[in-house]
């Protein structure tokens, strides 16, 4: 009747921590969960579809739309990933496992803990430093104040150095999906560069100087350059379109696999106007791509009034690798930008999508998405040295020169520039007088386009005003007339202002079915606008300029507000300056 | 001694009372001892004589000369007046001294009938004040040996007792039992036994098989909805497969939750497998006192379902069958005119984005104003739909497709057959039943069929006078086929039609390939290749014994049950091709390009053992005592394995063996628990006037940590039958019965899921491609709870039962307070840096208060000299729960807080719609926006600046009760004031019944993706027809809906905040069942061998009324609106509200034949 009055039923489909932490298999299975903190492929491939200065989108991001952001709708104060790392670090103490093995996995955990805190500090500045899984009784921590940025970043650096020294894996030929020693060093250079320049340009007087961090950035980057064996891959485009990313340059990537059924949306998001934000580059940025000879495009005669075909001639090869260019072919068909849809401003990005169309409207993309690559390390190194004032011509040649050479540029590769490019200075960084730093910033934007650096770069350079830039696009020679924008003899698009204009243009067109795009000359219109280019007949396409006055960047926006819910739970968390009591992003 | 002892045993020995042999004897004996006479008779017959030698010796030698004399005649001669005797039914003749008053008895025959003249089987015929009795046969007849001056008591469950003076008669054929008017004479099933309703002190409500009769219902749960006050069954949608958790008396626990314990024939079971036709009664034990014998699992009520008992006597065969026509109770009405839809799409898009769209839902269809103009012209031309090919090969569609019409059949057919055979005699009996329920599916192209089979065989054998063995076997099998779109199990088909199958799109291109919208929705149905098949089997067997001793005052019963339940699920996805361009060389595809098969198999083995003894007796006619005690032990072991693999070898593959891909995901789950308990119940009644009951259980469960595994849960209840008091002088014709009841009990809640108290690291499947593979992964466990103990539910119940006007009017009412304390909830909300949900603990208390009232009226009058009998029954019940304790000192209303009423809905008040564009400073709302540029315009919803803040800013404050900003409580989503009406009437073989069920008050705010919003949600949604003309324009300023704009935050699209303007009242009244039938007169059917034949019409859900329909008209049934899940899907976001499987209305025609 009561065979077992002892009321005991063991669990069989899960296990206790003793079993996990007593074998390398257990540590490895646990370490898989660390990777969950990484963005997924779609997220990483679309990270720059919002909140970048060089792109126009179909919706203004709330963070830069006046009075749209406050502690009431802030987010990102999530700490569950940290607990997972800390639980591992604290429990990975079983001496039955060799110390080097344990340290390898603890190194992984500390790499990801640094990843976590780097994100937190970038977003919120000061944050509590927690190095173990908290117990509810630890009220002095739970209800404590924030720790200083100084303290937290030192811990982050310690974590990264521990990771770099103890992670045993040095390469992952399969898909570069695993964290290696070089990923730790490369990431350390990114973190240190951010911190060094942030402290420098925001005049933070902390114990550890900006220079200390810039040196750390330089050293970490140098380690990768000297010891990892990584080189620049010959093809820039293939870095972003291969399922197996070139191992020569890739340090870490997010892998997908059709056979495993793990796919992402990159092509869809970069092809569909409504799935995502439909980001187009703006012409002021497109103009920063150098000419093949290494001179600025804006030095070219008539550059301001070049149409779609003309402006793509003799340029940095990365322009063609990043945008639909005249003559771009997909699956054997000429593929113009979709002027009536996605390509409102004429510049439709292709950098992170592939030339096959299968993923254009469904989740079928499998190309790897870069997370850390050697090209960035070179840029980190160059900038760290330049900011310290120690960049040599040889450094230039090894870094910016090498990147430009790969982009087909022939001039200015071996010695650092000596003349300020006024276009860059006036349009982007008016406070920078060092031609080297200006060129490194140009290079960084072009090389790392859409890879998720721009928002951070502008914040650390204290250049948030760029988010207020007006969104103007491609030059067109006229409206109400058929345009052969790729100069192949067949008319491609009619920009018309009214039905009569359309009818007149259609009668002239040598293509019965060109794109027909209604535009307005009214700068307050809510459709695509055309602004007189200043040469009497031509126009620049423009988008949402009626919203220019609503774009906002104020000093407080270099940090996000802590979500009000977190402050309600712990009033000791002081709100970041300017965001107190529900204040919105009002420009102050 | 011996005789005395024997006499004590007498009552046992007459249990089968088949009268007396009429054997006759001829004797010619002189000067013999009486013993010799008896010996002679014994030799020649079955008679056995029992006497004490010394008694017989007193008779001395006797002479006897009789011819063809019966035993009584002989006994008269032998014994004279010196000794008495008694002939027992088994031919035992007991002789005793005359002072024992065993006088000669007569053999009385009689018949018991009901008020309609139908014979009553199983009625108890008992000699008053003696433990002598028989039960009636199938034809209502009985035979009993009685003293000619005796008084008979005739009783039967559900009928009023009758007393009859024998008055020397040997035949009484006019005994009529009236149906128990007060209900107090009934016997109801309670935990481990039965109880006369008159003796009940707890809150117990019971219904019989009438709830299930003549209804076409797929399962028991559906039939029970609304039938018992405060047995709350909320079905998530209208699927025939759907069951519901059984809730008694409202909110149970906001911690562990917990439902009522459902027992079928005394053992935990799943009513969704149960053949409704097998059910004899359903008892609901509502209060702690009644449920206490079930301990922790009865903490939130117990539902006791008892299956039909075999009928003894002549074998009875019963067939009932019905054939039903089912259709949607309300068919979702969307705009099907493509021009109207497209104009509204453009308007919704333009009003939000400020630009003209270029495609509809991510290139499902390309949009241009040209196309709209061409479509208008085409419509004006009056020609029918067509598809054109543009110069670049793209298809351009001019269609007016009614996609919901394509999805749903106009009607479907269901048949339901039930056959039962029952019979037996005093030694053994049996009941065998079988059922087939076959639902044809309401989907058109790939019908969602459901078929279930039930088989039951039960029987008993009376092995000895004191021992009965019984067995009850049940088998059930059901098969459900559910098609889904190419988008798989995560996609609700109605929702996906709304977002990707536009009225302008046909399903097919001119060359019979699929359009993109078709491929995303119904093409998979047409192909029949994306579906899940769920199969379930249940096998259950209970073997039991019943014994009785000492004049049936002491009984020991025991049973052992095992139940094996296996489930076998098969899911498949296959890609569906489509073309958007006539020149494309290859199709595009919707769905998974490789195809996926997923198989899941799980089984549960459950065993239950019960043994209990009961003693029942009455002393000095005053003191009634009943005691019961026993032991219960149950085990359950569940285990499941699953595997998913991609890359199908064949599109029609039906096994994972034909999948060959490298993405292979195995999975397993298991859980086991045991529970044991010792329980008791003591009843004491004094003069039927004062009643007292004590229950208790010492309960153990493996689900708790070792030191907390056992708990003792007692309860007590009492009753006072005021009407039995000598001082109660009110005429029985006015007040026939009054009883006051009160009960109190405190039970632990054993619903905690296993392993909650262990720090466990689960092994999961990572979705990341790392090192070229998908890896097993584990992570930090949830912080473990500390100091875990039982949640407790403490119920106090006050009840009043009375009957009036000779029992025509009856009232039962209960008011209760249930305090659920120490609820196991997330602990004090910790700052986010804790990094996990706060460890759970026994932190919260809640009070639920409610009542149930049942009022019934029964009467009859004559119509055309035939009795017209009718009965009305009305119930009203309610509950409301408030949180007494929850660690939330700031009273954030995003969580529970002290004083919170469960279900309260926080939102904004509104001041109508802006009639002019507001000045930017007059109204600042950053919580949501209704257009991309965040500018408020005329026609937008105006949220009230409730806190009158000077800056005119709409805020949520700190989302606390004390600082709610502009938010306030705008409604409550809990159902309030549920009620039902039942009307039965019967005249001359014609019977009629109607059953209404309703909810008096309830609010609902349509969720973000609810079909309710149409294009206010996504501009490309299908447009609910009711919205036409109901939205704000400059010419329609009094409209209900605001400016027509997609992704409209004001209506809850983002940062979902409800507001009072669009809060819906979803109270309703539903005619759940209507029956009209005719019992064919016996004269018509007698020659066919039929005993009984009835034909009937029965309707389910044939009408409903709700304030919701004021706006939505026929758009959706009120139940479909609230329902927002389909547990057969694996949806990551809420797609259901208004899109759940529709409620069906049923018209069925049936027969019931008894042979």
Q: Residue with structure tokens 């029964």?
A: B858
What's the CA angle centered on B230, arms B224 and B233, to 5 degrees? 45
Which CB contacts under 8 angstroms, 24+ apart, belong to B1090-1093?
B1090/B1153, B1090/B1154, B1090/B1155, B1091/B316, B1091/B1154, B1091/B1155, B1092/B1152, B1092/B1153, B1092/B1154, B1093/B1151, B1093/B1152, B1093/B1153, B1093/B1154
pLDDT tens track for B1023-1074: 999 999 999 999 999 999 999 999 888 776 666 789 999 999 999 999 999 9
pLDDT at B11 over 70: no
Q: Check A259 against B355: CB less than 8 A apart.
A: no
- B588 close contact with A: CB closer than 8 A: yes
pLDDT at A158 over 90: yes
Query: What's the pLDDT band for B153 if we cut at 50, 70, 90?
Result: confident
> Closest chain A residue to B351 measured between Cα atoms?
A526
Q: What is the pLDDT averaged over residues B808-837?
A: 90
pLDDT of residue B6: 44
Q: What is the pLDDT averaged over residues B1077-1099?
A: 86
pLDDT at B64 over 50: yes
Query: What's the pLDDT band for B132 if we cut at 50, 70, 90?
Result: low
In whole angstroms, how large is the CA radius of gyration of chain B? 36
Mean pLDDT comparison of A504-513, B417-426, B995-1004, highest-scoring range:
B995-1004
Beta strand A14-15 pairing with B531-549: unpaired
Q: How far is A482 from chain B (nearest CA, A)?
A: 18
A contacts of B636 (beta carbons < 8 Å): none
SS3 labels along B1110-1125: HHHCCCCCHHHHHCCC
Q: What is the pLDDT averaged over residues B710-718?
A: 89
pLDDT tens track for B557-598: 999 999 999 999 999 999 999 998 898 888 988 888 889 999
pLDDT of residue A24: 94
Query: What's the pLDDT band for B9 if we cut at 50, 70, 90?
Result: very low
Q: How far is A385 from chain B (nearest CA, A)?
A: 35
Question: What is the total residue count of chain B?
Answer: 1155
Q: What's the gap between Cα A55 and its chain centre? A: 12
Exposure of B385 in the CB half-sphere (CA atoms within 13 A): 19
pLDDT at B881 over 90: yes
Q: What is the pLDDT averaged over residues B473-478?
A: 95
pLDDT tens track for B316-375: 899 999 999 999 998 889 999 999 999 999 999 988 887 778 788 876 788 888 889 989
> Closest chain B residue to A6 measured between Cα atoms?
B702
pLDDT tens track for A386-427: 999 999 999 999 999 999 999 999 999 999 999 999 999 999
Mean pLDDT comparison of B30-34, B167-171, B225-229, highest-scoring range:
B225-229
Q: Check A274 against B631: CB less than 8 A apart.
A: no
H-type alpha helices, A392-517: 393-396, 402-406, 422-427, 435-447, 454-460, 499-508
Q: What is the pLDDT averaged over residues B128-138?
A: 73
pLDDT of residue A395: 97
Q: Which two tokens stand for residue A358?
A: 């299968």
Query: What's the pLDDT band for A1 if we cut at 50, 70, 90?
Result: very low
> Closest chain B residue to A2 measured between Cα atoms?
B633
Higher pLDDT, residue A272 or A559: A559
Q: Check A13 against B670: CB less than 8 A apart.
A: yes
Exposure of B922 in the CB half-sphere (CA atoms within 13 A): 8
Q: Check B590 against A362: CB less than 8 A apart.
A: yes
- Chain A to chain B Cβ contacts (< 8 Å): 263
Buried b (16+ CB within 10 A) or exposed e, B1027-1066: beeebbeeeeeebbbbbbbbbbbbbbbeeebbbbbbbbeb
Residue of B592, B763, B783 with shortest CB distance to A14: B763
Do the Cβ atoms of A190 and A343 come closer than 8 Å? no
pLDDT at B505 over 80: yes
pLDDT of residue A269: 92
Q: Check B775 against A261: CB less than 8 A apart.
A: no
pTM, two decimals, is: 0.77
Q: Check A87 against B363: CB less than 8 A apart.
A: no
Higher pLDDT, residue B132 or B691: B691
Q: How far is B446 from chain A (nearest CA, A)?
A: 25
Q: How far is B761 from chain A (nearest CA, A)?
A: 5
Query: What's the pLDDT band for B929 if we cut at 50, 70, 90?
Result: confident
Higher pLDDT, residue B403 or B1127: B403
| Residues within 8 A of A (CB atoms), B 765-794 only | 766-781, 783
- B937 close contact with A: CB closer than 8 A: no
Buried b (16+ CB within 10 A) or exposed e, B583-611: eeeeebbbbbbbbbbbbbebebebbbbbb
pLDDT of residue B2: 43
Q: Check B834 against A134: CB less than 8 A apart.
A: yes
Q: Check A14 against B771: CB less than 8 A apart.
A: no
Q: How far is A191 from chain B (nearest CA, A)?
A: 22
In this structure, is the dihedral angle defined by the CA atoms of residues A105, A106, A109 and A115, taken in order, positive or negative?
A: negative
For chain A, helix, strand, coil in percent to 5 are: 40, 10, 50
Biggest CA–CA distance in chain B, Å, is: 131
- B362 close contact with A: CB closer than 8 A: yes
Query: What's the pLDDT band for B1086 if we cut at 50, 70, 90?
Result: confident
In chain B, the percentage of residues whose pLDDT exceeds 90 is: 40
Model-level ipTM above the cut of 0.95: no
Do the Cβ atoms of A377 and A246 come closer than 8 Å? no
Residue B310's closest CA among B193, B425, B418?
B425
């Amino acid at each position: 009747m009561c065979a077992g009055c002892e009321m005991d039923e063991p669990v069989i489909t899960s296990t206790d921590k003793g079993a996990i932490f007593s074998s390398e298999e257990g540590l490895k299975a646990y370490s898989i969960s660390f990777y969950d903190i990484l963005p997924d492929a779609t997220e990483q491939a679309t990270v720059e579809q919002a909140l970048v200065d060089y792109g126009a989108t179909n919706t203004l991001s709330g963070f830069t739309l006046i009075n749209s952001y406050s502690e009431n709708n802030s987010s990102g104060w999530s700490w569950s990933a940290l607990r997972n790392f800390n639980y591992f670090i604290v429990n990975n103490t079983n001496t039955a496992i060799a110390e080097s093995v344990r340290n390898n996995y603890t190194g992984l955990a500390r790499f990801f803990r640094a990843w976590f805190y780097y994100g937190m500090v970038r977003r919120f500045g000061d944050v509590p430093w927690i190095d173990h899984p908290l117990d509810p009784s630890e009220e002095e921590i739970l209800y404590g104040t924030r720790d200083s940025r100084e303290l937290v970043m030192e811990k982050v650096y310690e974590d990264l150095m521990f990771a770099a020294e103890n992670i045993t894996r040095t390469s992952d030929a399969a898909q570069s999906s695993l964290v290696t020693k070089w990923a730790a060093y490369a990431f350390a250079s990114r973190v240190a560069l951010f911190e060094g320049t942030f402290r420098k340009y925001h005049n933070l007087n902390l114990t550890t100087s900006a220079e200390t961090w810039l040196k750390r950035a330089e050293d970490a980057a140098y380690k990768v350059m000297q010891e990892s064996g990584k080189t620049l891959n010959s093809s820039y485009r293939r870095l972003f379109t291969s399922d197996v990313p070139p191992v020569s340059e890739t340090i870490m990537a997010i892998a997908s696999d059709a056979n495993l059924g793990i796919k992402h949306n990159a092509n869809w998001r970069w092809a569909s106007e409504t799935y995502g934000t439909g980001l187009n580059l703006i012409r002021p940025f497109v103009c920063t791509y150098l000419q093949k000879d290494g001179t600025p495009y804006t030095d070219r005669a008539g550059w301001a009034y070049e149409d779609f075909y003309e402006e793509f001639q003799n340029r940095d090869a990365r322009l063609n690798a990043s945008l639909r260019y005249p003559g771009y072919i997909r699956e054997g068909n000429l593929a113009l930008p979709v002027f009536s849809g996605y390509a409102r401003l004429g510049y439709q990005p292709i950098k992170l999508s592939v030339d096959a169309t299968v993923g254009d409207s469904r989740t079928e993309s499998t190309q790897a998405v870069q997370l850390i690559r050697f090209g960035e390390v070179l840029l980190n190194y160059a900038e760290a040295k330049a900011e310290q004032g120690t960049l040599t011509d040889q450094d230039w040649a090894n870094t910016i020169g090498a990147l430009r050479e790969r982009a087909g540029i022939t001039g200015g590769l071996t010695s650092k520039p000596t003349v300020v490019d006024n276009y860059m200075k006036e349009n982007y960084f008016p406070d920078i007088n060092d031609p080297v730093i200006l060129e490194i910033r140009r290079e960084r934007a072009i090389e790392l386009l859409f890879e998720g650096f721009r928002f951070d770069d502008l914040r650390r350079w204290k250049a948030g005003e760029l988010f207020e830039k007006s969104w103007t696009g491609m030059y067109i020679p006229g409206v109400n007339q058929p345009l052969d924008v790729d100069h192949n003899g067949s008319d491609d698009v009619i920009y018309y202002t009214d039905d009569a204009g359309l009818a007149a243009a259609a009668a002239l067109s040598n293509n019965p079915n060109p794109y027909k795009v209604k535009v307005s000359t009214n700068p307050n219109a809510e459709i695509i606008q055309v602004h007189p280019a200043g040469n009497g007949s031509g126009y620049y396409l423009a988008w949402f300029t009626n919203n220019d006055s609503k774009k906002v960047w104020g000093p407080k926006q270099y940090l996000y507000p802590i979500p009000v819910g977190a402050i309600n739970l712990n009033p000791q968390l002081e709100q970041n300056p300017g965001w107190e009591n529900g204040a919105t992003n009002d420009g102050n | 001694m011996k005789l005395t002892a024997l006499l004590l045993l007498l009552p046992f020995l007459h249990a089968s009372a088949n009268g007396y042999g009429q054997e006759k004897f001829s004797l010619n004996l002189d000067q013999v001892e009486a013993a010799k006479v008896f010996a002679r008779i014994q030799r020649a017959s079955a008679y056995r004589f029992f006497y004490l030698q010394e008694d017989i010796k007193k008779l001395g030698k006797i002479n006897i000369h009789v011819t063809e004399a019966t035993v009584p005649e002989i006994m008269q001669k032998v014994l004279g007046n010196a000794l008495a005797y008694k002939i027992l039914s088994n031919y035992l003749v007991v002789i005793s001294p005359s002072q024992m008053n065993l006088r000669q008895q007569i053999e009385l025959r009689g018949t018991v009938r009901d008020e309609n003249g139908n014979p009553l089987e199983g009625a108890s015929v008992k000699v008053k004040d003696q433990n002598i009795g028989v039960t009636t046969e199938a034809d209502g007849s009985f035979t009993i040996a009685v003293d000619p001056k005796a008084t008979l008591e005739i009783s039967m469950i559900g009928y009023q007792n009758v007393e009859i003076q024998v008055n020397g008669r040997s035949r009484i054929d006019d005994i009529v039992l009236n149906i128990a008017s007060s209900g107090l004479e009934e016997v109801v099933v309670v935990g481990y036994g039965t109880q006369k309703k008159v003796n009940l002190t707890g809150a117990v409500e019971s219904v019989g098989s009438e709830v299930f009769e003549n209804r076409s219902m797929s399962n028991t749960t559906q039939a029970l909805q609304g039938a018992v006050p405060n047995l709350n069954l909320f079905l998530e949608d209208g699927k025939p497969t759907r069951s519901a958790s059984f809730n008694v008396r409202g909110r149970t626990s906001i911690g562990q939750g917990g439902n009522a314990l459902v027992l079928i024939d005394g053992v935990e079971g799943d009513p969704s497998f149960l053949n409704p036709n097998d059910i004899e009664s359903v008892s609901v034990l509502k209060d702690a006192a009644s449920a206490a014998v079930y301990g922790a699992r009865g903490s939130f009520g117990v539902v006791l379902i008892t299956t039909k008992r075999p009928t003894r006597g002549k074998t009875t065969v019963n067939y009932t069958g019905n054939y039903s026509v089912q259709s949607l109770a309300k068919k979702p009405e969307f705009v099907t005119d493509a021009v109207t839809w497209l104009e509204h799409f453009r308007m919704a898009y333009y009003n939000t984005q400020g630009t003209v769209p270029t495609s509809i839902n991510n290139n499902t269809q390309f949009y241009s104003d040209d196309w709209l103009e061409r479509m208008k012209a085409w419509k004006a031309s009056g020609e029918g739909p067509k598809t054109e090919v543009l110069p670049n090969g793209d298809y351009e569609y001019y269609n007016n497709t009614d996609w919901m019409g394509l999805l749903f059949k106009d009607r479907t057919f269901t048949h339901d057959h039930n056959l039962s055979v029952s019979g037996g005699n005093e030694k053994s009996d049996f009941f065998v039943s079988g059922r087939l329920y076959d639902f044809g599916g309401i989907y058109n192209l790939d019908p969602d069929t459901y078929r279930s089979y039930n088989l039951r065989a039960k029987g008993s054998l009376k092995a000895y006078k004191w021992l009965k063995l019984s067995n009850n076997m049940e088998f059930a099998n059901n098969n459900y086929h559910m098609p889904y779109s190419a988008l798989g199990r995560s996609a609700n088909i109605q929702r996906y039609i709304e977002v990707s199958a536009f009225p302008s799109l046909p399903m097919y291109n001119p060359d019979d390939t699929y359009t993109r919208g078709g491929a995303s929705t119904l093409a998979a149905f047409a192909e029949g290749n994306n579906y899940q098949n769920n199969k379930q089997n249940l096998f259950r067997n209970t073997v039991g014994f019943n014994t009785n001793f000492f004049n049936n005052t002491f009984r020991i019963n025991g049973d052992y049950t095992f139940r094996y339940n296996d489930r076998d699920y098969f899911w498949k996805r296959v890609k569906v091709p489509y073309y958007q361009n006539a020149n494309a060389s290859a199709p595009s595809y919707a769905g998974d390009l490789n195809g996926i098969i997923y198989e899941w198999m799980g089984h549960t083995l459950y065993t239950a053992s019960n043994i209990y003894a009961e003693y029942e007796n009455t002393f000095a006619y005053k003191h009634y005592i009943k005691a019961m005690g026993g032991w219960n032990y149950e085990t359950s072991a569940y285990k499941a394995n699953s595997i998913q693999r991609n890359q199908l070898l064949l599109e029609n593959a039906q096994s994972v063996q034909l999948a060959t891909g490298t993405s292979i995901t195995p999975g397993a789950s298991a859980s086991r628990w045991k529970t044991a308990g010792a329980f008791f119940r003591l009843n004491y009644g004094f003069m039927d006037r004062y009643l007292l009951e004590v229950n208790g259980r010492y309960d153990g469960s493996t689900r708790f940590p070792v030191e907390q595994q056992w708990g003792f849960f007692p309860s007590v209840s009492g009753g006072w039958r005021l009407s039995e008091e000598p001082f109660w002088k009110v005429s029985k014709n006015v007040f026939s019965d009054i009883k006051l009841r009160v009960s109190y009990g405190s039970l632990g809640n054993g619903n905690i899921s296993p392993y909650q108290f262990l720090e466990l690291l689960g092994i999961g499947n990572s979705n990341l491609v790392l090192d070229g593979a998908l890896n097993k992964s584990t992570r930090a466990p949830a912080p473990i709870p500390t100091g875990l103990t039982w949640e407790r539910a403490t119920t106090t119940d006050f009840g009043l039962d009375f009957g009036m006007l000779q029992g025509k009017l009856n009232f039962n009412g209960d008011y209760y307070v249930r305090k659920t304390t120490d609820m196991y909830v997330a602990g004090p909300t910790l700052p986010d840096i804790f990094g996990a949900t706060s460890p759970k603990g026994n932190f919260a208390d809640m009070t639920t208060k409610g009542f149930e009232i049942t009022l019934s009226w029964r009467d009859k009058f004559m119509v055309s000299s035939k009795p017209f009998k009718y009965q009305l029954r009305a119930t009203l019940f309610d509950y409301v729960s408030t949180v007494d304790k929850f660690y939330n000192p700031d009273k954030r209303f995003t969580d529970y807080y002290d004083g919170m009423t469960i279900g309260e809905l926080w939102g904004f008040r509104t001041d109508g719609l802006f009639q002019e564009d507001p000045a930017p400073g007059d109204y600042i709302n950053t919580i949501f926006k209704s257009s991309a540029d965040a500018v408020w315009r005329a026609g937008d919803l105006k949220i009230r600046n409730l806190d009158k803040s000077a800056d005119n800013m709409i805020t949520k404050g700190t989302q606390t009760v004390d600082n709610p900003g502009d938010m306030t409580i705008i409604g409550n989503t809990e159902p309030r004031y549920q009620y039902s009406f039942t009307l039965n009437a019967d005249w001359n073989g014609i019977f009629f019944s109607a059953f209404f069920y309703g909810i008096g008050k309830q609010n609902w705010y349509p969720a973000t993706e609810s079909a309710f919003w149409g294009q206010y949600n996504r501009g490309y949604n299908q447009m609910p027809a009711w919205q036409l003309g109901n939205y704000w324009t400059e010419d329609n300023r009094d409209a209900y809906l605001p400016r027509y704009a997609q992704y409209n935050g004001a209506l809850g699209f983002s940062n979902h905040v409800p507001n009072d303007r669009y809060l819906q009242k979803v109270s309703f009244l539903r005619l759940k069942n209507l029956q009209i039938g005719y019992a064919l007169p016996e004269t018509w059917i007698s020659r066919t061998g039929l005993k009984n034949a009835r034909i009937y019409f029965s309707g389910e859900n044939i009408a409903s009324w709700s304030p919701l329909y004021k706006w939505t008209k026929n758009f959706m049934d009120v139940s479909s609106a609230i329902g927002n899940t389909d547990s057969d899907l694996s949806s990551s976001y809420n797609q259901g509200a208004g899109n759940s499987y529709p409620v069906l209305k049923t018209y069925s025609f049936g027969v019931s034949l008894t042979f």
